[in-house]
Amino acid sequence: MNDTQKGIAMTKKKLFVFCLDALCSMDIELMRTMPNFKFMFEQGSWVTHMHSIYPSVTYPCHCSIVTGNYVEKHGIPHNEIVKAGDQNAPWYNMRQDVQSKTLLDYAKENGFSTCSLSWPVSGGADYDLNMPMIVPIGYNGPNPEQFFESTATAELVERYFPRYGHHLIGEDRSLDRYTMGLATEIIKDYRQPDVMLVKMCDLDTVRHRYGVMNGHVIEQLHKHDAEFGVLVEQIRKHGDFENTDFVILGDHGQTDIDHVLNFNILLKQAGFISVDENDQLIDYDAYCHSVGMSAWISLKDPSDEKMKQKVHEFLLSVKADPKYGLGHVFTKEEVREQYKLTGPFEFVIEGEAAISFGNTLSGDDAFSETRVGDYKTAKASHGGLPYKEQQTTFIACGPSVKQGVVIDQANLVDMAPTMAAMLQFKMQDVDGIILDPLLK
């Protein structure tokens, strides 16, 4: 390597992304006062309101963040691979299911080393270092390592799981503690990969459990501030702080929920669903799949036009009855045209007010209280129209970013092409745009 090549290598741009699930625009005021987050605001720029996608749930959102595309293009419409009657559906986990190239795919093609930690739908991704978010949400058994076989970078599992894997075991398991353990070590041991994504979950968990804003949420934001500070300090010590663009971003907001509408009960009462004496599904013509603050209506036979019309008329009749609080009934054609959403459904429904949807088939009461343990029916939730709930945000700081620019509104799909521009390459065939006012 000659002196010129050495100079280029030494000044190679780096990108460090710290993703906080359910980070809201309302959090900015507090974050600006925190010891580690505040330099991002003092020296960087940000977008106050980042409009999410439809539905605004974690896995589709994270796919939009890294691809710059809406669901119609990237192909991940829900967290779960839904099936009528399955109350414990598997989740989308594998990178091969994402139908668009990602920011890290492009980065690797352009000669950057890549690292992704706890990013949804990244199992088996061809990144240099990859530890996907893949242990099932309800798993508390003794062997979480099994889920990383053939889905994570073997070198990472061999090197770090013996030291940090215990964080994924038992009732008090914590993906965030596991992620932090790996992130701190990787920055040191690999001298800070050029493009590094670190995703944290606990803010979302706390908001689901306690509501959008309260003391628990404030405490969690302080924890994330401390975590960010640790990782930044690691970059100062072992990486290239001066040539790193830092980004803090979220995927969606959350909304406090008034009550839950169990729409399958209405479908059962109207004769579209039949169950046995234990309320287990026997057969159906139409079935509701919750996406939190919205829901899908699928048909057993989508080619049955008479049944489709019958179901549509039923949905409109429910919308016309104010006691149910249904605000929107979209056909699959309408939701594709308006929100670039496609998926295994014929209709999408959403409440007028802050309601979420349950999947249960049990009982005769279509209404229930919120409950802890299910993100779709928790005290606070998301998954609705992107303009209705708290918006998320995007904060950037570094050598590629101007100081003091504040954009009021942009879209989640703008994140990937903007971060690509920081690294001086362009992503092709994306729905998002480069947020040029933020960049030098």
Domains present along the chain, CATH in parentheses: 11-255+388-438 (3.40.720.10), 258-369 (3.30.1360)
List, for residues 335-351, the tens digit of each pLDDT value: 999 999 999 999 999 99
Give the model's pLDDT for residue 5.
Answer: 42
Tokens describing residue 237: 């010590």
How confident is residue 1, by pLDDT bands cut at 50, 70 and 90?
very low
The closest of 348, 315, 312, 311 to 330, measured between CA atoms, is: 348
Q: What pLDDT, on a 0 to 100 scale, did the predictor assign at position 3?
A: 45
Strands 380-381 and 244-249: unpaired
CA dist., res. 286 & res. 203, Å (int): 35
Bigger pLDDT: 372 vs 377: 377
pLDDT confidence bin for 372, thresholds 50/70/90:
confident
pLDDT value of residue 302: 98
> Could you tell me which residues come within 8 angstroms of residue 196 by beta carbon, excluding any fewer than 6 positions away?
14, 15, 16, 17, 114, 115, 116, 117, 183, 186, 187
CA distance 80 to 141: 21
Beta-bridge partner residues of 350: 294, 328
Of residues 221, 211, 227, 226, the one with CA closest to residue 390: 211
Q: Which residues 6+ apart lie within 8 Å of 327 measured at CB?
A: 319, 350, 351, 352, 353
Q: State the Cα–Cα distance between residues 299 and 284, nearest whole angstrom.
A: 8
What pLDDT sits at residue 2?
45
Mean pLDDT of the chain: 96
**Mind spelling out the 3-state secondary structure of 132-157?**
CCCCCCCCCCCCHHHHHCCCCCHHHH
CA 170 – CA 168 distance, rounded (Å): 7
Q: How many residues in total does the chain contain?
A: 440
Confidence of residue 138 (pLDDT cuts 50, 70, 90): confident
Mean pLDDT of 240-267: 98
Residue partners of 132: CB distance under 8 A and separation at least 6: 93, 95, 116, 118, 119, 120, 121, 122, 123, 124, 125, 148, 151, 152
Q: Where are the beta strands (DSSP E) in 228-316?
A: 244-249, 255-256, 259-262, 273-275, 281-284, 286-290, 294-299
What's the distance, CA 145 to chain centroid? 23
pLDDT exceeds 80 at position 234: yes
Task: Identify which of 357, 356, 349 has the alpha carbon closest to the alpha carbon of residue 318.
Answer: 349
pLDDT at residue 373, as a whole number: 81
pLDDT at 45: 99
Q: Report residue 376 as tokens.
A: 């779709």
Q: Predicted confidence band at 218 (pLDDT cuts at 50, 70, 90)?
A: very high
Q: Among 8-12, 32-36, 261-265, 360-364, where is mean pLDDT lowest?
A: 8-12
* Alpha-carbon gap, residue 345 to 393, rounded angstroms: 30
Cα distance between residue 128 and residue 110, in whole Å: 13
The 10s digit of each residue's pLDDT in 272-319 is 999 999 999 999 999 999 999 999 999 999 999 999 999 999 999 999
What's the rounded mean pLDDT across residues 183-199? 99
> What torsion, rounded to 10 degrees, do the Cα atoms 196, 201, 204, 206 define?
-140
Dihedral of the CA atoms 99, 384, 386, 393 (nearest 10)?
-90
Rounded to an integer, the average pLDDT of 174-182 is 99
DSSP assignment string, 172-222: T--HHHHHHHHHHHHHHHTT--SEEEEEE-HHHHHHHHH-SSSHHHHHHHH
Token match 């359910």: residue? 22
